[in-house]
Amino acid sequence: MKIIDGLIFHEKKGFVKETLYTEGGRFSLSTTENTIVDARGCYVIPGLIDIHFHGCAGHDFSDASPESLTAIAEYQLSQGITSICPASMTLSPETLQNICECAHNFSTKNFTNASRLAGINLEGPFICNAKRGAQNPDFIRQADFNLLKQLQETAGGLVKLVTLAPETEGAMDFIREVKHSALKDISVSVGHTESDYDTAKKAFDAGADHVTHLFNAMPAFTHRAPGVIGAAFDTPGCFVEIICDGVHIAPPVIRAAFAMFGSERIVLISDSMRATGLSDGAYTLGGLNVQVSGRHATLADGTLAGSVTNLYDCMRCAVSMGIPLELAVQCLTINPARSIGIDRDYGSLTPGKAADFLLLDKDLNLIGVYKDGIKIRTTG
């Protein structure tokens, strides 16, 4: 395949007008294939990667249902998200086992019209009750290496992230055990925490290398108490997630985060829940009742309960806040791929990687979705 006359995204150079090639479902330096894609007037970017969301289209990853997971993956691909790492919630060990088993079974099948299941994000149950957000307090528990090991075995190695409150009992030992075991490739993510700077920095020094939805469910970053945010800033190589739905974080804070961390360390996420793509009304998240009105999803007490914005629209939101498109794309593609260790095959338009790419018009409308070099959607 030849993709001609488009503005091709390069993570170092931005957008360059050149020809992009694919061969056998991978990007290549040249091609023998006859298909030509006219990308005139379009941006050509890698398929998006969402490493933290819960559901969409009326379904939740924690349903542990093959039908739900299929519907989720089909919706995500239709919106330009070609690889997904959905998040579980703070639930019982039995339910988490069922979620991991369902995900593993799904990952063994090849669905052309569905996003690729690239991993599992365990958001809980090893969190702090005071900063639980929309997580169920009944299932919060102490960090448990053996439980994580069992879940990873059930998942067939799909677990890529686990959220941890480092101030809780056993947390530091848990991080060290993970990082000095066969589970070392799982990123320990600091989140849903009351941790101060010193405790968070100890966690990062012990091996944690990720932050769950920066600014949310953690102490504020202030001039005398920098907290988790300051500790993450002082830890080179630590990736930080940001929900960019226009609700969770104010635009000036988004811009400040980019100035503070640089585009190399930010991973934009949606944190979307099952109401995404649907109308206002009553829904659930992790067994808790959620009311959706416009872009807001809240518990009865007003606590934000995820977002109702898919990742593609989060990109548009970031650009509307003043983030340059090339930086936003970096934070939606190669950064999430690197953060969960799948960048060898996904996240950029580099020869040898899977030919996942999107066509966007100048107004950032989604015109075309391609996965493994196969056209999934064309609009406009």
Read off the pLDDT of residues 49-91 as tens digits, 9 standing for 90 and up: 999 999 999 999 999 999 999 999 999 999 999 999 999 999 9
pLDDT value for 84: 98
Give residue 378's pLDDT: 62
- Across 24-34, average pLDDT: 95
Specify the DSSP class assigned to residue 220.
Answer: -
Note the pLDDT of residue 110: 83
Q: Identify which has the larger pLDDT, 379 or 207.
A: 207
Mean pLDDT of 352-362: 98
Q: Check whether 380 has a pLDDT greater than 50.
A: no
Average pLDDT over residues 194-215: 98
Q: What token pair was written down for 237?
A: 């190589």
In the sheet with 81-84, reading across from the earlier edge strand, the strands are 48-50, 81-84, 116-117
User: Over 252-306, what HEC string results?
Assistant: HHHHHHHHHHCCCCEEEECCECCCCCCCCEEEEECCEEEEEECCEEECCCCCECC
The answer to whether residue 198 scores a pLDDT higher than 50 is yes
- Residue reference for tokens 């957008």: 15
In this predicted structure, what is the pLDDT of residue 24? Answer: 96
| DSSP 3-state of 23 | strand
Q: What is the arrangement of strands in the sheet containing 210-211, beginning at the earlier edge strand? A: 120-122, 159-164, 187-190, 210-211, 239-243, 266-269
Token pair 């929309």 is found at 134
Given a cut of 90, whether residue 227 has pLDDT beyond it is yes
Report the length, in residues, of the chain: 380
Indicate whether 377 pLDDT > 90: no
pLDDT of residue 379: 57
Contact by Cβ (8 Å): 358, 80: yes
The arithmetic mean of pLDDT across residues 314-329, rounded, is: 98
Distance separating alpha carbons of residues 27 and 354, to the nearest angstrom: 6
pLDDT mean across residues, the chain: 96
| Half-sphere exposure in the Cβ direction for 213 (13 Å, CA) | 28
The residues that are catalytic are 271
pTM equals 0.96
Q: How many separate helices (H) and strands (E) can be counted in the chain? A: 10, 22
For residue range 82-94, list pLDDT tens digits in order: 999 999 999 999 9
Percent above pLDDT 90 for the chain: 92
Residue 124 and residue 90: Cα distance in Å, rounded?
4
Long-range Cβ pairs for the range 175-182 (8 Å, 24+): 175/203, 175/206, 175/207, 175/208, 176/206, 176/207, 177/145, 178/145, 178/148, 178/207, 179/206, 179/207, 181/145, 181/149
Rounded to an integer, the average pLDDT of 112-137 is: 95
